[in-house]
Amino acid sequence: MTQAEQPAGVAIHTVGESLSTTVSLRSVPDVLGFADAARVAAFAKLDEAHRTAFGQFGTPPKVARLMASMFNANRREIRLLDAGAGVGSLSAAFVAELLTREVLPTSIAVIAYEVEPMLAECLRDTLSRCHDACATQGVSFSSEVIVSDFIETSVRSARGDLFAVEGQRFNCAIQNPPYRKINSDSTHRRLLRQVGIETTNLYSAFLSLTLRMLEPGGELVAITPRSFCNGPYFKSFRREFLSKVALRRIHVFDTRDTAFSQDRVLQENVIVHSVRGQSPGPTIEV
């Protein structure tokens, strides 16, 4: 983001580029390994042009682990939103992370959105493995897979339309949203305008809608292109984003091919950890 948009009184503190995370305190089933094997198999079956059209890029295990490690998530009852979940790699990493901490939650509830039916089937299998892993640690687990367009469903919910998914509030959200421009005359653009969101890309639309579904103090960790950080196209999004959250950490990758090397994607990405409705702290880790 531009210097003018940096929160007042906040210093930027650089902590390095490593993808390493903390050492686990206990052994749990490898749910992320299962999800990653499913990701590789499923994406091999999807047409590359189709994936590009929908902005679908699966999250590698190292990136997923790093994202999960950023959460404080020190609540007893966890309600996680995973929009654009794919095969469930991020949900799996999140569950695995919480199950290896010294203090366990009593329950984890996951709501996951995925528009691709084949990926949604893999997602259900991943969440079933998460259920089994939680059972080994005495943690209650529930999940729901919504095979639907996240933007359409969320806007209908915000408007209170009949048959829309009932409005929900989450205390955690983890995302690798789709990356694709939104045409000015598209259905998505029209729907977003109905709830006061003006943006030019699916990823920023996902983040804007997710922020509205987070309860005060709720945490969002997302990997996105860094294009939202400056320039006129994302000015409206930056204004809304920074008015609703406090930035806690930004991870910048060394090179453009680091985050999604398995998909041969050249994209400058960042991982952002933010907290809904809190004041900025004295430092932001970068």
- Tell me: pLDDT of 235 over 60: yes
Q: What is residue 183's three-state secondary structure? A: coil
Question: For the segment 171-223, what is each residue's pLDDT rounded down to a tens digit?
Answer: 999 999 998 899 999 999 999 999 999 888 999 999 999 999 999 999 999 99
Place of tokens 């990823």: 203
**Domain CATH for 245:** 3.40.50.150
What angle, 0 to 180 degrees and rounded to 10, lies between the N-to-C axes of helices 202-213 and 235-244? Answer: 20
Q: What is residue 222's three-state secondary structure? A: strand
What angle, 0 to 180 degrees and rounded to 10, lies between the N-to-C axes of helices 150-159 and 202-213? Answer: 40
End-to-end CA distance of the chain: 13
Q: Are 65 and 28 in contact (CB under 8 A)?
A: no
Max intra-chain CA distance, the chain: 51
Q: Which of 40-54, 152-166, 257-271 has the lowest mean pLDDT?
A: 257-271
Whole domain around residue 210: which residue ranges?
A: 3-285
Q: Which amino acid is at 3?
A: Q
Burial 134-145 (b: 16+ CB within 10 A, else e): beebebebebeb
The sign of the dihedral angle between the CA atoms of 257, 261, 264, 268 is negative
Per-residue pLDDT, 281: 59
Gap between the Cα atoms of 269 and 66, Å rounded: 14
Gap between the Cα atoms of 172 and 181, Å rounded: 26
- Tell me: pLDDT of 9 over 90: no
- Tell me: pLDDT of 130 over 90: yes
Rounded to two decimals, what is the model's pTM?
0.84
Q: How many structural domains compose the chain?
A: 1
Confidence of residue 160 (pLDDT cuts 50, 70, 90): low
Gap between the Cα atoms of 262 and 42, Å rounded: 14
Mean pLDDT, residues 257-263 taken together: 50
